[in-house]
Chains A and B, each alone.
Chain A
Amino acid sequence: MTFLADAAGSPGPGSAGGAEALHSRPHERGGGVWRAVRWAATRVAGAVFVLWAVATLIFFGIRLIPGDPAEAILGGPGSRATPEALAQARAEFGLDQPLFTQYLHELGRLATGDFGTSYALKVPVGQVILDGLGSTLVLTVISLAVAWLLAIALALWATRGGRVAAAVSTVLEIVAAAVPNFWLGTILILPFSVGLGWLPAISTPGIPGLVLPVLTLAIPLAGFLGQLMRESVLNALDAPFTVSARARGESETGVRLIHALRHAALPAISLSGWAFGSLISGAVVVETVFARPGLGRTLLNAVLIRDIPVVIGVVMVVALVYIVVTIATDLADRIADPRLRQQGGDR
């Protein structure tokens, strides 16, 4: 057994090189860096393209809504502004320019990160967004985490608790995935706020105010993720590697926690980017139902009063968040599933 001799001789490289040792060639490490750079460059270019497309769509789309933006600047149709005042407002906000010139101006401003001034509030849009962003991100991130926890619990219980658990959890998942946010929100308010008075119906600062909005957002998503995970848990529990694990003396709990759950998480992680997007759109509804300050409510109000800079700004920021989250789930995918790293391909 001569090949055993060189095992002791060669020093162990860093963990990055170790993963690829089977296919390693001298230039391998450089190739890895180049691949990472190319991957990052593709992502950035894609993000820029998406932001441009979103800005363009919104810019032209919002002009399809009937009405005069200048009226909105002066306080809406009810303000009875004089023609002179309207003309002055148009000139001030560049609305008298040809549409395409306005578009180029808008793109130029957006490119420098300047979202302009809100028509209605007369404050920089950046300020308006910053006020709402934190609250919405807290709501959506916590909702995503809660949805994951519920989904994992549901999937484990469904695959462990026998036939009754499987049937019950299937029904739960389908019902949860099917209920709309606005309905669920109202349904939750009735017993917990109106009936029992445990939790505030209108969102207040602090944790109690978060519970109902978070549940409203998380439950439908948990139903969806739970269905997905249960399938993959069952597949993993049938796989030969779980037979190997049991034959090693692993307990049923160990088989689930160490092996099955990780396999089950893969498809759910991939879908979390999409899920986050759906949470943000759900936040528009939930923030309205619970009268909670946030980007969703800001956006809804801005659309209603045709506050174009705020609408564009909010949509751009949401698009950016969505892009960042998508890239993050892509990275999480690669961490959870080493096979993706090895293939080096983009999904």
Chain B
Amino acid sequence: MSEQDAVAMSERAAVLDVQNLRVAFRTGRASTQVVDGVGFRIEPGQCLALVGESGSGKSVTARSILGLAGDSAHVSADRLRVGSRDVLTLGNRQLRAMRGADVGLVLQDALVSLDPLRTVGREIADALRLHTRLTPSERSARVLRVLADVGVPEPHLRARQRSGELSGGLRQRALIASAIALEPPLLIADEPTTALDTTVQEQILRLLERLKSEGTGILLISHDLAVVGRIADTIAVMTDGRIVEQGPATQVLGDPQHEYTRLLIRAVPAGRPRGTRLAPTPTPAATAPTAQHDRSVGSSPKGPESSDDTRGGTISAPSRGLGGAGDTMPAGSAALEARGLSKSYRSPDGSRRVVVDDVSFVLERGRTLGLVGESGSGKTTTARLALGLTAPDAGTVTLGGAPWSILNERLRRPERRRIGAIYQDPLGSFDPRRNVREILADALTSGRSASGAGGRAALARSIAELLDSVGLATALADRRPLHLSGGQRQRVAIARALAPDPQILVCDEPVSALDVSVQAQVLDLLDELQQERGLSYLFISHDLGVVQHMSDTVAVMFDGRIVETGPSADVFARPAHEYTRRLLEAAPRIG
């Protein structure tokens, strides 16, 4: 067999073969190149991971493979083959015949990726209805088999439920079932585990791994290197529409060649000691007044060696942040203490559901208490109790030794400035009609307008200081939140929380909606602010890596209770509780 034949053979064997794929979107007369010369191939039983941050063009690449890039997209390629089909030459009818049968697509979040008005059984059966001549009863039998195959217990019950009635893990399995009902040789999974809890993510990854071992070729699209490292054979790192590095997973993760890959790997907080910087330089580009800045970090990385060393590596926890601004309490004393907190809510059917159950913790001054747990474990309710936004059924919260939860709101309101909060989605917490300056002015003056020229000048100075302290350019003050990037919005949210000069910040999933590199910058910023101002953080996250990186003390929440608490290093090194161990095992990490 000649060499050419061998090449031809292997080309025939590929389930997906892409060469020099280019996608441009036309809006009016302007045209934007979103994917610029991307190429890769996937063979049966192989998994290629396309890694990049939002806007890198990875999802458009996936849609183009299915011929679903949209009417305004101009797709061209030297080669775009799914199995033996040349996608670019296919007509609409042939494309439809290919979708579902030759390629399956799994999107993020089955809650909205399966029709919420239809049962998952019907959604799965649709694939069979479109591509086979099975009778309805044969189809439902097949649906049950596929559901059982992806590990859905009691498939005959689940098939009759809708995505909203299923738990996160089950509905994601159902979504996968709808994509693989016809056993397509290629599965495209676009962020299939994003927004899932750690243990559920682990189950979904295991399912994908099994499909792979059974011979399905998988194109895995993700922003999360740690997730990808778990199952990918090959990793392609994508930014600004180009693949900047492609190679075997172990090589890309272990010995990254391209600067952007290194930046992504460094940004992963898991296993990085408390106090080490995650982003390259002390929030360098953050001041650039463009909404695209978060993305552009990768293409123009600042000095590579300027990171850990500028900080002198790890800072020993006990010495951190003591004697910060406005500190009137002795070092190490409790900034916030919760004792025996309980809270229950009534379900629609009349029964009571205990959401927080006898929770106690101490947040020491200038330290970070990490609260980690999966969705529904009671973390956010605990945050609301700590903020005095919800009254506990039992137990008390004290703020700096003084009563807090038992105060009535009239007495509590003047004290509210002592404790601030930032949330996962800052956009929803801003009035969309106000610009950054107005948002911060409100927070600084508690809604009263500044009086006199002197007052206004002082206000303008305070706003400039606040923006500076969170690494935002003053020019951004005139922008509305909608026109800021995700990272910039979260910085504005932090600035707003800092405006009344609080001693405590409650951070509820503050980085969960951000890209890894932006997340790294925001975490670094929080770290800096803590040291400068002696802030105490109640840091809530479902992400073990983030919590480990940020916390002095960790409390693990499960089913409304704190099942384990202790110094961060101890809990992560020697988890005592069974649930903590399970969480740690499920957490994907690099290396």
Contacts and interface: CB of A to CB of B under 8 A. Distances in A.
Given A247-B66, A247-B100, A241 B151 contact: no
A262 B99 contact: no
B157 A18 contact: yes
A334 interface: no
A249 B112 contact: no
Contacts of A241: 112-116
Nearest to B99: A249
B161 A7 contact: no
Contact of A6 (B66, B99, B104, B153): B153
A18 B160 contact: yes
B288 interface: no
B154 interface: yes
B127 interface: yes
A337 interface: yes
A259 B126 CA distance: 11
A90 B167 CA distance: 71
A249 B162 contact: no
Contacts of A258: 115, 118, 126
Given A246-B99, A339-B162, A344 B68 contact: no
B582 interface: no
Contact of B99 (A247, A259, A263): A247
Given A3-B153, A244-B175, A338-B162, A250 B130 contact: yes
A23 B68 CA distance: 37
Contacts of A13: 157
Contacts of B151: 1, 3-4
A19 B127 contact: no
Nearest to A17: B157
Given A4-B148, A239-B112, A262-B117, A247 B126 contact: no
Nearest to A262: B117
B100 A342 contact: no
Contacts of B131: 249
B105 interface: yes
Contacts of B56: none
Given A19-B165, A342-B165, A243 B350 contact: no
Given A244-B107, A247-B66, A247-B99, A21 B161 contact: yes
Contacts of B350: 31
Given A240-B112, A342-B164, A342-B165, A4 B153 contact: yes
Nearest to A34: B350
A262 B116 CA distance: 11
Contacts of B384: none
Contacts of B156: 7, 12
Contact of A240 (B107, B127, B148): B107
B99 A21 contact: no
B160 A19 contact: yes
A240 B113 contact: yes
Contact of A243 (B98, B100, B113, B117): B113
B111 to A, nearest CB: 9
A248 B148 contact: no
Nearest to B68: A246
Nearest to A12: B156
B74 interface: no
A13 to B, nearest CB: 8
A11 B151 CA distance: 18
Interface string B136-157: 0000000000001001011111
A332 to B, nearest CB: 14
A13 B502 CA distance: 56
Contacts of A28: 349
A79 interface: no
A122 interface: no
B351 interface: yes
A113 interface: no
Interface residues of B, number: 49
Contacts of A247: 66, 68, 99-100, 103-105, 179
Nearest to A11: B156
Nearest to A338: B162
Contacts of B115: 241, 244-245, 258-259
Nearest to A32: B349
A22 interface: yes
A7 B154 contact: yes
Q: Which of A1, A21, A249, A259 has the most CB of B within 10 A?
A: A249
A343 interface: yes
B154 A6 contact: yes
B101 interface: yes
A343 B105 CA distance: 30
Given A239-B112, A243-B113, A248 B127 contact: yes
A342 B164 CA distance: 9
B96 A7 contact: no
A82 interface: no
B100 A249 contact: yes
B303 interface: no
Contact of A248 (B108, B178, B349, B351): B178
A28 B166 CA distance: 17
Contacts of A105: none
A336 B338 CA distance: 46
B113 to A, nearest CB: 4
A23 B96 CA distance: 37
A97 interface: no
A32 B349 CA distance: 8
A4 B149 CA distance: 9
Nearest to B154: A7
A345 B108 CA distance: 29
Interface in A75-128: none
Interface string A12-39: 1101001111110100100110010000
Nearest to B105: A247
Q: Which of A6, A23, A241 has the most CB of B within 10 A?
A: A241
B114 to A, nearest CB: 6
Interface in A230-247: 239-241, 243-247
A228 B123 CA distance: 26
Contact of A244 (B113, B130, B348): B113
Interface string A23-67: 101001001100100000000000000000000000000000000
Nearest to A3: B153
Contacts of B109: 240
Interface in A288-347: 336-339, 342-345
25 contacts: A6-B154, A12-B156, A18-B161, A19-B160, A21-B157, A21-B161, A22-B167, A31-B350, A35-B349, A240-B107, A241-B113, A243-B63, A243-B105, A244-B178, A247-B100, A247-B104, A247-B105, A249-B97, A249-B99, A251-B96, A262-B117, A336-B117, A339-B117, A342-B164, A342-B165
Interface of A: 1, 3-4, 6-7, 10, 12-13, 15, 18-23, 25, 28, 31-32, 35, 239-241, 243-251, 254, 258-259, 262-263, 336-339, 342-345
A-B complex: 7 closest residue pairs judged by Cβ atoms: A247-B105, A249-B100, A344-B348, A248-B100, A249-B99, A3-B153, A240-B113
Interface of B: 63, 66, 68, 96-101, 103-105, 107-109, 112-118, 123, 126-127, 130-131, 148, 151, 153-158, 160-162, 164-167, 175, 178-179, 348-351
Given A35-B349, A248-B99, A336-B117, 5 more contacts: A6-B153, A240-B113, A244-B123, A248-B127, A248-B178
